[in-house]
Chain A
Amino acid sequence: MNQSKQNKESGLIKQAIVSSLIKLNPLVMMKNPVMFVVEIGTILVLLMMIMPTAFHAEGRFGYNLAVFLILFFTIVFANFAEALAEGRGKAQADSLKKTKKDTTAKKIGKNGTITTVSSDELRKGDIVLVETGDLVPGDGEIIEGLASIDESAITGESAPVIKEAGGDFSSVTGGTKVVSDSIKVRITADPGESFLDKMITLVEGAKRQKTPNEIALNILLVTLTIIFLLVVVTLLPIANYVGVHLELSTLIALLVCLIPTTIGALLSAIGIAGMDRVTRFNVLAMSGKAVEAAGDINTIILDKTGTITFGNRLAAEFVPVTGATQKELTDIAVVTSLFDETPEGRSVLELAKARGFSWDASSYESAEIIPFTAEERMSGLIQEGNHYRKGAVDSIKKFVQQMGGKVPEDLQAKSNEIASQGGTPLAVSYNSNILGLIYLKDTVKPGMRERFDELRKMGIKTIMCTGDNPLTAATIAKEAGVDEFIAEAKPEDKIRAIRKEQEKGKLVAMTGDGTNDAPALAQADVGLAMNSGTIAAKEAANMVDLDSDPTKIIEVVSIGKQLLMTRGSLTTFSIANDIAKYFAIIPAMFTVALPKMEVLNVMGLHSPTTAILSALIFNAIIIPLLIPLAMKGVKYVPMSATKLLSKNILIYGLGGVVVPFIGIKLIDIIVSVFVQ
């Protein structure tokens, strides 16, 4: 396993090396203006080696060769970073493409006849029959039937899922496999536009569009490049005036050291890697912009059921009424639940166990089991003529009264109290006695509170949406630690909440799966749809979670932030590096003509030549050294922006100033062994 992973990695690297050479084509390089300037410089130095007389560069072959080689590797390293990031996406795309084999489809004609056609020929609106063992030929919606479908090709999740006509679980994806039953599917995508096709293009990064922030940063980098170009070009006549004659290759070295090559080389790799992190997280972002927007989110709107809570009501408390003890109540409650396979029933046993109770189920094996029915609304068992029951309070009341028992006076009050706290009371009876209540509660998933605390530290507000009454909602909201909640929410309320936040200038993220979530998903700045959801929801969203886990929105926000932080940190590092490079090159350039400039050589570099070469070498090798950071992203721990900034400024700002001083000095020590 490890071996194959290593093979894969080395394969990727080999591929990346090849494509980094292909990318040397100036037409391709032009897309990255900073590195394009480096390439022009490299070509100029090459020309100086070939035609020294034309450039008055006689006798400087060795020096020019060294400069040329370092510059060449600078470009190759930059291309390599991009190619490596792209390669990872491609590898993923390839495995997806394997899924996209040509399949045959059983097309149902207008008169009901079935013809076998290639899946490529299917168009929007066609109806196909998919039976056990068939691959679904294209994206579509089930119009008839129910089937269990293996979606592992898309999600990696091997357990089949049930899909059926109508409702929110009617969409099927091309390339998935029907493992039982048969369905009729109306195709909803033309060939080449299916979900799988979109996914392949996305992970391949072929159509990768630069995000607005990337464009803006590029503008700044290009501006700095032009400024430094200007600095270097104007330096020539000015220096000539005082009799300092600068070599062209030295000027090119100065230029390359000054322009932000580090970030210029890594910028697109950072973007691709960021998208890749999202994809590997099994979330499909429709654009890099969506990932960046995730980093900017101010408010997250989450559904209560399924996202914050398990959605099942579980036993949380045993509440005895007058005349019964906690122990009596628990014992009876356990008996009523012994053969109750509902989550509620199981939770009663779990709670009892947690409270230190134990029982012997075998002694009740001969009992008559009373299953839960919608009319009776209670369940339990009859053992040796004894009736053990639990159920809705009204039902149990009636049952006990029929048996001639009395209803305890405090039952109603206690059950009201449970209801008012958002719980559901279940009454427990033994023959004609009511012993008490089981407090059923919607349970918050473990760890949610911590996650919301983290979000709060990032400055993100959470809003919980639920159909529950305000009291229930308030209880869960308090328990989970969300900032706000919307109770008795209708689908329109979600959109209204999103708009309200957006009017205040906030960016909003939400998750959803149903068709009636689609408008809200579209309205939100980041909409994460569940892959299990409807096509309408998936199309409205700008991200799809293949695992259908709505809590992932929180991680997506972190990934977005991490992407932006990585970009900012490396930009800061790159610009801060220039200071040390200046202190290496400026004295070196002028010392030949003006020996007194030597005082500026604060690093004590060996000679002008070694100083320039060392600065250039540092400039080149810092790129591959930073590739892992660009790919992985800088570490992100949720904390306030001010703390985060102080930390990153210290590491990347101050570090960016100090590291090259050390690096250049070390390189100079090595270089001075070979060069005078």
Chain B
Amino acid sequence: MDALQIAAVILLLLFIIKPLGSYIYHVFSNEPNKTDKFFAPIEKCIYAICGMKNRAPMTWKKYTISLLLTNIVFVAAGYVILRLQQFLPLNPNGIKNMEPTLSFNTIASFMTNTNLQHYSGETGLSYFSQMTVIMMMMFASAATGIVVAIAFIRGITTKGNTIGNFFEDFIKGHTRLLMPMSIILTLVLVGLKVPQTLDPSITLTTLEGAKQVIAIGPVAALEAIKHLGTNGGGFFGANSAHPFENPTPLTNVIEILSMWCIPASLTYTYGRFAKKQKQGWIVFGAMSILFVAFLALIYFAESNGNPALTAMGLDPSQGSMEGKEVRFGIAQSALFSTVTTAATTGTVNNMHDTLTPLGQITPLSLMMLNTVFGGDGVGLVNMLMYAIIGVFICGLMVGRTPEFLGRKIEPKEMKLIAVALLAHPLLILGPTALAFLTELGKGAISNPGFHGISQVLYEFTSSAANNGSGFEGLGDNTLFWNISTGLVMLLGRYVSIISLLAVAGSLVRKQPIPETIGTFRTDHLLFVGILVGVVLIVGALTFLPVMALGPIAEYLSIR
């Protein structure tokens, strides 16, 4: 039954990939198509208002600077709103202004598509902030990620000096992709009893006579973009475990698919741009193998229950249900956790802190690899970076200097890739070690010992991978954690975006070399193996020691 549930969701995804991937291709290929009739007039208005008559293609530098400046404007506006929300409209619950370091953390978190939440939505944000800051950034950050992927794909599949016009891509990402999908999804969720209202919280008197406040708000709209945009920041503190965010197994499946569909479909879009669909399927295949392996690990670990409790004579047949919602059960929780960390969404429908030690390995590893589907856009770009590394190492073995899609990989590209490759482990391991050197960091741990290592490691891994899910259990709304994770999120996002767009800018200028029988094929099944191997070896070698001290040691200690 469990296997069937999981298989059904994966099957549904497979049906979505081709149509959605083709649709995304048509949105960004900038060739006339049927949907223009509907969308072009809306975009024309926006272009007119923004003074974007020409929309000339940009070099990678101009593209990247436009992207960064746009994000900076969002950050500034968002910060001001959070700091002044008390005085702004739509605050029926009278929520106070947010404290500076928490505001910084929150803004960094949402702009970087991380959605790490050191606040609790019900008490920390006004409806106005939820809608203008949180939801706006959920759209903007997802669109940013998607256009990065598109620009990168253009870089490796076309020849010239330019990788597209950022503003045009960014607007189209909203008008043609995220907005329409969100509207549909919101309506579906409303139909499935997810609240969507501007009324204040409901106050009731319980049977015992106690007063209970039930928080509500514009939940469905946020829920839609939270998943589609691989954002993950919940309206409520309990995120998608909360019955108003994710009331039934059906909404659970819809949420899983909605956060998974864009990252997965982008592999198809890539194949379309590369004019060789197999290229896309190879990347999808490598991602899927890793996905299934980690899904199997968490599923079996959770199903087997907690060995320490079993040893005490408890029946493990239910699996480890601690921290899980009964309405989802093991299969739907395990799948949700795997997808949310693979696609680096960070929404949770169960408490990751109470996963069994072996089960914890799955979310941690997926965020450490950061390439198994990954967040909207950036996941694909990261995987393509590993593809380039794979080509670089193994390509030599066919007796040619390495080339990816016919473009030679030379010192310049390797330098830029080195930056992106280094940034991720540096941002995870560096701050983690730092946290253990100070009382400020260590003090936040609620569960000392090996599990404490997992808690701290999870927090920084989630930040660096722009995932945003929390292990929770960490007292993290302090100056140290707000600032440190804020910085990690920003660096984790932009260092790799800048360096990989630079790679695209360098590759786009190269004359592609035509494929012959002597060419290293990246559209061959063998390359799936190489890709999986490179991702696993680089990832495993980097993180195995700390994993051994965290979840693995914890598992061995309760076995």
B415 touches A219 (CB 8 A): yes
Q: Tell me the minimal C-beta distance from B159 to chain A in angstroms.
A: 9
Q: Tell me the minimal C-beta distance from A324 to chain B in angstroms.
A: 50
B393 touches A571 (CB 8 A): yes
A641 touches B453 (CB 8 A): no
Q: Tell me the minimal C-beta distance from A34 to chain B in angstroms.
A: 14
Report chain A residues within 8 Å CB of B511: 503, 505
Report chain B residues within 8 Å CB of A240: 436
B517 touches A295 (CB 8 A): no
Q: Is B411 an interface residue (CB 8 A)?
A: yes
With A220-B389, A238-B436, A596-B559 in contact, is A258–B541 under 8 Å at CB? yes
A561 touches B399 (CB 8 A): yes
A219 touches B436 (CB 8 A): no
Q: Mark A209-244, 1 if CB is under 8 A from B, else 0.
A: 000110111011011101110111111111111101
A582 touches B517 (CB 8 A): no
With A220-B389, A223-B418, A505-B513 in contact, is A296–B442 under 8 Å at CB? no
Q: Is B557 an interface residue (CB 8 A)?
A: yes
Q: Is A586 an interface residue (CB 8 A)?
A: yes
B519 touches A649 (CB 8 A): no
Q: Mark A347-376, 1 if CB is under 8 A from B, else 0.
A: 000000000000000000000000000000
Q: Is B312 an interface residue (CB 8 A)?
A: no
With A241-B453, A242-B449 in contact, is A642–B396 under 8 Å at CB? no
Q: Is A477 an interface residue (CB 8 A)?
A: no
B518 touches A459 (CB 8 A): yes
Q: Mark B388-415, 1 if CB is under 8 A from A, else 0.
A: 0100111111111110001001110111
Dominant SS at the A interface? Answer: helix
Q: Is B201 an interface residue (CB 8 A)?
A: no
Q: Tell me the minimal C-beta distance from A262 to chain B in angstroms.
A: 13
A460 touches B425 (CB 8 A): no
With A237-B433, A641-B517 in contact, is A216–B396 under 8 Å at CB? no
B421 touches A234 (CB 8 A): no
Report chain B residues within 8 Å CB of A139: none
Q: Mark B414-439, 1 if CB is under 8 A from A, else 0.
A: 11001001100110011011101100
Q: Is A249 an interface residue (CB 8 A)?
A: no
Task: Give chain A interface residues in 237-260, CB to chain B under 8 Å.
Answer: 237-242, 244, 254, 258
Which of B422, B512, B541, B544 lies at the interface centre, i.e. has the most chain A CB atoms within 10 A of its CB?
A: B541
Task: Give chain A interface residues in 590-625, CB to chain B under 8 Å.
Answer: 590, 594, 596-597, 599-600
B394 touches A572 (CB 8 A): yes
Q: Is B548 an interface residue (CB 8 A)?
A: yes
CA distance A12 to B47 in the complex (A): 73
Task: Give chain B interface residues in 513-534, CB to chain A under 8 Å.
Answer: 513-514, 516-521, 524, 526, 529-530, 533
B399 touches A565 (CB 8 A): yes
Q: Is A564 an interface residue (CB 8 A)?
A: yes
Kindly identify which residue among B389, B395, B436 contacts A568, using a CB–CB cutoff of 8 Å. Answer: B395
With A567-B396, A568-B394, A644-B399 in contact, is A597–B526 under 8 Å at CB? no
A contact residues, range: 35 or more
With A238-B436, A597-B553 in contact, is A295–B399 under 8 Å at CB? yes
B contact residues, range: 35 or more
Report chain B residues within 8 Å CB of A219: 411, 414-415, 418
Q: Is B549 an interface residue (CB 8 A)?
A: yes
Task: Give chain B interface residues in 358-405, CB to chain A under 8 Å.
Answer: 389, 392-402
Q: Tell me the minimal C-beta distance from A506 to chain B in angstroms.
A: 7
Report chain A residues within 8 Å CB of B434: 237
B537 touches A296 (CB 8 A): no
A645 touches B394 (CB 8 A): yes
With A565-B396, A596-B557 in contact, is A244–B549 under 8 Å at CB? yes
Q: Tell me the minimal C-beta distance from B407 to chain A in angstroms.
A: 9
Q: Is A631 an interface residue (CB 8 A)?
A: no
Q: Tell me the minimal C-beta distance from A646 to chain B in angstroms.
A: 6
B557 touches A230 (CB 8 A): no
CA distance A276 to B436 in the complex (A): 53
Report chain B residues within 8 Å CB of A224: 538
CA distance A561 to B453 in the complex (A): 48
CA distance A574 to B488 in the complex (A): 32
A564 touches B421 (CB 8 A): no
Q: Is B197 an interface residue (CB 8 A)?
A: no
Report chain B residues within 8 Å CB of A134: none
A586 touches B533 (CB 8 A): no
A572 touches B397 (CB 8 A): yes
Q: Is B191 an interface residue (CB 8 A)?
A: no
Report chain B residues within 8 Å CB of A216: 392, 409-411, 413-414
CA distance A550 to B544 in the complex (A): 54
Question: B536 — nearest CB in chain A belongs to which residue?
Answer: A579
B537 touches A234 (CB 8 A): no
Q: Is B542 an interface residue (CB 8 A)?
A: yes
Question: A211 — nearest CB in chain B belongs to which residue?
Answer: B401
Q: Is B556 an interface residue (CB 8 A)?
A: yes
Kindly identify which residue among A461, A582, A586, A644 contacts B398, using a CB–CB cutoff of 8 Å. Answer: A644
Q: Tell me the minimal C-beta distance from A538 to chain B in angstroms.
A: 26
CA distance A523 to B327 in the complex (A): 71
Task: Give chain A interface residues in 633-657, CB to chain B under 8 Å.
Answer: 636, 640-642, 644-646, 648-649, 652-653
- Show the binding face of A for B, using Cβ within 8 Å: 212-213, 215-217, 219-220, 222-224, 226-228, 230-242, 244, 254, 258, 292, 295-296, 298, 456-461, 503-507, 560-562, 564-565, 567-569, 571-572, 575-576, 578-579, 582, 586, 589-590, 594, 596-597, 599-600, 636, 640-642, 644-646, 648-649, 652-653
6 CB < 8 A contacts A-B: A459-B516, A564-B400, A600-B548, A641-B520, A644-B399, A649-B397
Give me the 9 closest cross-chain CB pairs, A-B, nearest first. A568-B396, A459-B518, A561-B399, A459-B516, A234-B433, A596-B556, A568-B397, A223-B418, A641-B398
* Other A-B pairs beyond A228-B542, A649-B526, 18, CB < 8 Å: A216-B411, A227-B425, A227-B542, A228-B541, A230-B425, A231-B425, A235-B549, A237-B437, A238-B549, A258-B541, A292-B401, A456-B517, A575-B537, A579-B541, A597-B556, A640-B518, A642-B526, A653-B533
